[in-house]
Amino acid sequence: MHIRPIFYSILVFICSSCASQSDDLSEVQLKLPKVEVKINGVSLEMPSGRMNKDELAKVKRSNSEWIAIIPYAYSRENDATVHYDYEGQWRGEGIEGTYECAQMAQELGLKVMLKPHVWVVGQGWPGKFDLNSEEEWLEWENTYREYILAYAQIADSMNIELFSIGTEYRIAVVKRPVFWEKLIEEVREVYKGELTYASNWDNYKRVGFWSKLDYIGVDAYFPLSKKPRPSLEELKLAWKPIQMELAILSAKESRPILFTEYGYKSVEFANAGFGDGDKSEIKTSPESQKVAYEALFETFWEEDFMAGGFFWKWHLYSDETIGGESNRRYTPQGKRAEKTIKEWYGKN
């Protein structure tokens, strides 16, 4: 197995804790996965109406070979029930739209990760979601299980390559570990493809079931710099300790790292972390977005333990209505960052 110099120091560190078991470094080196082909993916914003195959095909101009289809469910703050495929939901985010999008992707030669995501009304993302009683947690488990198994069965019926069992449940993965392990077993009973879980960047070390999945999934919105326009070298230096921690976890669990989400707004302070850069007084900066992507790719994309990832995100509208250098959102469509992604994805 080819091990790059940075991993030699990492594995020596790992081996120091297990020297009593073996003095042979090669035995430890074998724990570090080697990914031959990257997952060059893009996260879709699912449409409110019917899918447009011509618009979906445009993801290929960035050399993307995978798409993440995200069927949303919702729950309410302090309410245990998970609702999915509900009346009034955007078509693309429900069961019918999932089938439609997956079929079009397959016709276009694209591979698919199906990535269910619960939106918490009153909170937004599910990272802060918590409940007050065992009764409530059991209600959440029952309805969340139903949601996940419904989409796992869809994924299996359509031969979808990769399935995520959840996204960014920072509290639930810590408080309900037995539930998640049982859920993985139940998903594997109905779905034959590979599995991951999309942990938040500040929570992946607290997930206890990585060994039961095929990939360690990380939504990689790591805060790297509070400067408005950090240089490429400054960002790469900020990535180094994170790179080391991820490599150590990859070796420990014998699983590759997959960035289930990654991306940057095209504004100053793009690397300050998810949600930063929302203020209107912050200047638009497509160059900051481009440099942020370059730093991530140069740090991770040629490393053996990195499986690839899905950038955030791609809108299925015409080029005239989304993207471009004046657009401040996460999409790289029509921006300098799209060319950077195309270059790196084209190395596969």
- Give the C-alpha distances (Å, rounded to integers) separating 128 from 79, 288, 294: 13, 29, 31
This prediction's pTM: 0.91
What does the buried/exposed string (b/e) look like for 80-91 if buried means 16 or more CB atoms within 10 Å of the residue's CB? bebbbbeeebeb
pLDDT at 160: 98
**Sequence-ordered list of residues with C-beta below 8 angstroms from that of 260, at least 6 positions apart, any chain:** 68, 113, 115, 164, 167, 196, 198, 199, 217, 218, 219, 309, 310
Q: What is the pLDDT of residues 7-30, one digit of tens each?
A: 434 444 444 444 333 333 333 444
Question: Does the pLDDT at position 149 exceed 80?
Answer: yes
- Mean pLDDT throughout 85-106? 96
Average pLDDT over residues 157-182: 98
Lookup result for tokens 């079929």: 103
pLDDT value at residue 30:
40
What does the mean pLDDT of the chain come to? 90
Please give the domain boundaries of the chain with CATH numbers for all domains: 1-32 (no CATH), 33-345 (3.20.20.80)
pLDDT of 165: 98
Give the length of the chain. 348
Amino acid symbol at 173: V
pLDDT digits (tens, 9 = 90+) for 226-263: 999 999 999 999 999 999 999 999 999 999 999 999 99
With a cut of 70, say whether residue 97 has pLDDT above it. Answer: yes
Residue 58 has pLDDT above 60, yes or no: yes
Task: Give the pLDDT band (50/70/90) at residue 320.
Answer: low
Tell me what the mean pLDDT of segment 56-78 comes to.
Answer: 96
Query: Would you say residue 292 has pLDDT above 70?
Result: yes
Greater pLDDT, 178 or 322: 178
pLDDT of residue 32: 75
Rg (CA), the chain: 20
Q: Give percent of the chain above pLDDT 90.
A: 82
Please state the φ and ψ torsions of residue 77, each to the nearest 5 degrees. -55, 130
Mean pLDDT on 135-148? 98
Instruction: Kindly state the average pLDDT of the residues 155-169.
Output: 98
pLDDT at residue 274, rounded to an integer: 64
Rounded Cα distance between 273 and 35, Å, is 28
Query: Does position 3 have pLDDT exceeding 50, yes or no?
Result: no
Predicted confidence at residue 122, as pLDDT, reads 87
